[in-house]
Structure 1
């Protein structure tokens, strides 16, 4: 099988190799020009591409096509149409035109629009994105598309991402030309999103209403063993998990998704998949497909893949590490410091553009990772805190300090790692360690944005990062554009020095979990936006609106729509959790608790009736404890119902969000703690659902 992998890889995508073989040369050149330079694609070219794409799809078993898009639900959407076209006398032909390739018309009224569209304004358009290859899945040709309303507003995540990539390219290229690197024609943001996830037995999953409806357990007594032995991380793969990962790799490789790394993560039942870098647009598409295939392949193995950020309490949650860099059309990584970063002017300009962007728009970075699920994860168990900071490591920090202080920074010698075991090979260690508590860490030739939640689309954080860095580069360019070539080095040094002095407050190489850092961050003036409602209002500040409208990423209406969608999704998520908690406790757990309490009380009473002098202190204490738990939970359920009613009656979305945070979440946590304590008193075989022991250690 291994020798078939090169043949298997990309076999289900309409790749460049397929296009070259099936398209006339002039059509192929026109399509490549569109893909590489963003030029307009004429309809006659689209018609030729459509015919070739249909022929290839039919050859590979496809009967339908769909415009595959990413609405603001955070998921993907698709409507399938067959290739058949009646030809008369009860016969059909397989047909697909350029018009059908380029444009689709799904109903736009039933997707989140944040007020951009009314229910009666149903028309929407999907537009082919030729920069992301079409692919075949489940006998259907999938065509990646953007999604917009009848009046042109972006109703998806792809359109603003493409806009941000174009803006970043424009600003990066002109900065490089100003610095004397005038051969570069294009700069692309490249990302490699690492994906964490949990696997649980499907039959056990189906017995947990909270996992089904909420994606996470709302309570559960801890298993005797968690992750404290640190034995699961990078541990040997269990056969069932290994078989799943193998099949997942094959399915992803068929779709041209470069799945590279797989391993056990820190928590029991937790795992990770990491791909090779790709351009931001394709990588976002690939990550959406990866999450879909994770769930689909899990079903075939009798498993369920959990992508919630915190499916189990007291152990690690799952994140998505967004590795981001900038690459030129000739393959140069602009964030590679080289052997002498202090003399690498090009690198230092782009490094400071990123640092400045993160400092200036830290609130937007936080917003890009905001969700009800991720609020449970941030700040502990290897997830970064809500305070946005940048980790650079010792060497780069000293480089910036030398620029700020006008001191000489000599070449740093590489140090050989001494393991103390002569038989082991010698190698040079990196100039800096890694910091797992940093939200935004430099890791050698890229930045790793670690705040993202595992279930989230990576489109939004990259839209914000691309746009913020483009703004930094724009400001740098404006400062340097009138400088004479002979004075450029001195002007760049002065610009870097000013930027370092202004933005060094966001650089932090220490422990992000410490109480001291919280105090120090406040002293530096860095925000600590702990919850989603705290940070979302920052999306509507004049500064945020100006950033996005200046660079034509969003209109003001599009910004406000996204604010409302995020806020509404937060409110709905918490409400679903509250209703699920009420349902599980009222219909399942409290009857079990009542029944078990009665059984213990009856047994105790029978013993005392038979042997009046028999000591039953322990049984009586257990009955009392179980009865107290019942009263606490019953009262708590009633309180939660009332709070839920109050929250749902609130018509103002912002107030409803803060009511959810201030009323519902504390009640959910209180009930969760009480139910977990009560569960620990009940025999496992009496519980109406599988316990943490079973869920986390059954594979």
Structure 2
């Protein structure tokens, strides 16, 4: 094996490769396109394409693809070979700047939400030069945006890039007011922590619910779950460690900064965390990470589950979106410094985030709304559906002092004394990490903890970037007109604190009293389900803000409303139909078979001695018959609700039927079948149980 530095980015057409293979003139022009958005000249594109092709062929590539992220939530690719016919009947390897810049995949089968008519099949992919091309297998993958024939965004990358540009534009205005004219570009950076489960493939293959839906629709809790907290940060099992080692190598080859790995809270659950990268690159990398996680798992006889709640009764999986803002001069704008009370620039950017999160709570909730995440949010493993910000003792004290125009005494640094002379002393941080908060400040960044493990991080960062850009625009508009900058700045920070302190909460987000206070006293939103949240994307204030910053057009917003609700409905309907199939064809026959076996056993015993009580057999058959009857009744009810869903005229109405009726029936059906599982002999149960799935990897 090569050393890690030799291995890292060996499959990436990165800056190092470009500098060595491009002329200085072409390299400089391309860097200006990447760094400051200069228009790309076709002669430069041709030179880049030639160098990219030669490098890819040397790496063993035979094909190229425009790699894009449609509104399915996963990636897409259409492969074309480099071959072109030559006059002598043979072939040459060719790749032009035109092919690099633009592709024409068929858009007809991708979700569009009404952005195109059925007969309008053409779509375009456009090269994103800010995200490096890479080789996967024998294919050169070129990260691209994806749009319709009419130019509307049909992907997640395009709005993300637009939101980054919107924030950059407004942040530069603010920095200029502080005299930072040397800054040319402001970007957001993200480090997405990725949680996942690993289970044996031979067990996965026996569970149709996992195959069709990504989660278990039935399953009684095992005697042991996560109660002892013994899995979290525990010793990694050899098979899992081998998987993690191979995963790291594959990620490092693609320039993905995989840094941290450990066992998570639930049995069979783990986490991978990368180092920060620019948001659009981090988004590309996270999509690749999820794909490679699954591929590497198969090589080890495992299956990687990315569903937000694959198992009931234990923690689900999230994706903590660690978000910060930085300049091209290397300054993190969310770093408080030694004296944050005196750091006006930091305080203004901090206030911009606070205002953004309060003003656009709904957009942040919408950005993480999926059928899978609905099962996770609000449980004791993830934040509640109510958005709030955790700042910590020091920052909250600073904001309170500013609001009251009072002096700030500061938080004294506490030296930790561990009571053992050989152990070093160290200074305690002035802020904790609140794991119950949806949006927590953790030193020089905010951790948005509501994103689901299977989600693209693009959606959350689009909304976050856009909302903060709006706050900064409002600030810049006022400060640019102010007669006295210092006075206007102080008053604006003070007003933001007064107007938006309701969103700041440093306590226990799991406490029911907090939810009551948040909604009834503070007036915060509580959209508990996807159907509750998604229609608010089209609220006037949201449409106005997102279109004003040119992140979305109104038509694009309508399409996403339609697509997200449609995806929600399809996901739950697939689950309902899978439950029906499993209950009718596997679970009920298994219950009946075991009940018949027990009854036959009782009859055989009574034939030997009529006075035998056979209490176990009698009671077991009674209970099994009761659970079977309950399940059968729930199946009839399930059919009835599915018929209602089929007759529904709109996707919104369908989503409400699912929320109000279908999910409840599915829970009833599961409850009966899970109870039956607990008293059915193991050899009669038709598929692997939770104890096998969660503890099956040795």
Partners of 2:674 and 2:628 lie apart in 1 by 12
Partners of 1:642 and 1:469 lie apart in 2 by 46
Partners of 2:341 and 2:670 lie apart in 1 by 53
1:110/1:119 contact within 8 Å kept: no
Please tell me whether residue 325 in structure 1 is matched to residue 324 in structure 2: yes
TM-score w.r.t. the length of structure 1 is 0.99
Q: Hey, what does 1:423 align to over in structure 2?
A: 422
Q: Hey, what does 1:338 align to over in structure 2?
A: 337
Q: Hey, what does 1:268 align to over in structure 2?
A: 267
Partners of 2:588 and 2:87 lie apart in 1 by 65
Shifted more, 286-295 versus 179-188: the winner is 179-188
Within-5 A mapping of 1:15-164: 15-164=14-163
Please tell me whether residue 631 in structure 1 is matched to residue 624 in structure 2: no
1:27/1:45 contact within 8 Å kept: yes
RMSD in angstroms over aligned alpha carbons?
Answer: 0.8
- Cα offset, 1:182, TM superposition: 1.8
2:195/2:269 contact within 8 Å kept: yes
- Cα offset, 1:663, TM superposition: 1.3
Partners of 1:570 and 1:512 lie apart in 2 by 26
Q: Hey, what does 1:658 align to over in structure 2?
A: 656
Shifted more, 83-92 versus 537-546: the winner is 83-92
The one of 643, 646, 661 equivalent to 2:644 is 646
Residues 309-361 of structure 1: per-residue CA shift (max 9 Å, x gap): 00000100000000000000011100000111100001000000000000000
2:394/2:410 contact within 8 Å kept: no
Within-5 A mapping of 1:396-415: 396-415=395-414
Secondary structure at the residue paired with 2:322?
strand
Secondary structure at the residue paired with 1:88?
coil
The one of 495, 504, 508 equivalent to 2:501 is 504
Q: Hey, what does 2:313 align to over in structure 1?
A: 314
Partners of 2:668 and 2:357 lie apart in 1 by 36
The one of 568, 578, 581 equivalent to 2:579 is 581
Within-5 A mapping of 1:228-239: 228-239=227-238
Residues 605-645 of structure 1: per-residue CA shift (max 9 Å, x gap): 12112201112122111110011111111111121112112
Unaligned runs of 5+ in 1: none
Residues 431-467 of structure 1: per-residue CA shift (max 9 Å, x gap): 0211111000000100000001000000010000000
Q: Hey, what does 2:177 align to over in structure 1?
A: 178
1:128/1:146 contact within 8 Å kept: yes
Partners of 1:418 and 1:611 lie apart in 2 by 74
Q: Hey, what does 1:199 align to over in structure 2?
A: 198
Partners of 2:672 and 2:446 lie apart in 1 by 41
- Cα offset, 1:143, TM superposition: 0.2
Partners of 1:158 and 1:617 lie apart in 2 by 64
Partners of 2:106 and 2:537 lie apart in 1 by 28
Secondary structure at the residue paired with 1:195?
strand
Partners of 1:483 and 1:542 lie apart in 2 by 29
Partners of 1:559 and 1:363 lie apart in 2 by 14
1:113/1:565 contact within 8 Å kept: yes
The one of 512, 516, 519 equivalent to 1:515 is 512
Partners of 1:381 and 1:427 lie apart in 2 by 31
2:628/2:672 contact within 8 Å kept: no
TM-score w.r.t. the length of structure 2 is 0.99
Shifted more, 119-128 versus 612-621: the winner is 612-621
Secondary structure at the residue paired with 2:125?
strand
Please tell me whether residue 462 in structure 1 is matched to residue 461 in structure 2: yes
Secondary structure at the residue paired with 1:116?
coil
Residues 54-86 of structure 1: per-residue CA shift (max 9 Å, x gap): 000000000000000000000000000000001
- Cα offset, 1:90, TM superposition: 2.5
2:377/2:385 contact within 8 Å kept: yes
1:317/1:381 contact within 8 Å kept: no
The one of 668, 682, 696 equivalent to 1:670 is 668
Residues 449-507 of structure 1: per-residue CA shift (max 9 Å, x gap): 000100000001000000000000000111111224xx322221111111100000000
Secondary structure at the residue paired with 1:65?
strand
- Cα offset, 1:412, TM superposition: 3.0
2:163/2:551 contact within 8 Å kept: yes
Q: Hey, what does 1:562 align to over in structure 2?
A: 560
Partners of 2:89 and 2:182 lie apart in 1 by 59
- Cα offset, 1:12, TM superposition: 0.2
Partners of 2:646 and 2:391 lie apart in 1 by 45
Q: How many residues align?
A: 696
Partners of 2:53 and 2:504 lie apart in 1 by 52
1:590/1:630 contact within 8 Å kept: yes
Q: Hey, what does 1:686 align to over in structure 2?
A: 684
The one of 547, 550, 556 equivalent to 1:549 is 547
Secondary structure at the residue paired with 2:13?
coil
Please tell me whether residue 494 in structure 1 is matched to residue 491 in structure 2: yes
Partners of 2:567 and 2:116 lie apart in 1 by 17
Partners of 1:544 and 1:241 lie apart in 2 by 44
Secondary structure at the residue paired with 1:294?
helix
Partners of 1:509 and 1:440 lie apart in 2 by 11
Q: Hey, what does 1:532 align to over in structure 2?
A: 530
Shifted more, 82-91 versus 196-205: the winner is 82-91
Partners of 2:327 and 2:634 lie apart in 1 by 58
Residues 94-113 of structure 1: per-residue CA shift (max 9 Å, x gap): 00000000000000111000
Residues 229-261 of structure 1: per-residue CA shift (max 9 Å, x gap): 000000000000000000000000000000000
Partners of 1:531 and 1:319 lie apart in 2 by 16
Residues 393-424 of structure 1: per-residue CA shift (max 9 Å, x gap): 11100000000000111343311012222221
1:10/1:253 contact within 8 Å kept: yes
Residues 519-574 of structure 1: per-residue CA shift (max 9 Å, x gap): 11011000111000001111011101001110000000000000000000000011
Within-5 A mapping of 1:583-602: 583-602=581-600
Partners of 1:34 and 1:410 lie apart in 2 by 48
Unaligned runs of 5+ in 2: none
1:315/1:381 contact within 8 Å kept: no
Q: Hey, what does 1:619 align to over in structure 2?
A: 617
Partners of 2:267 and 2:117 lie apart in 1 by 46
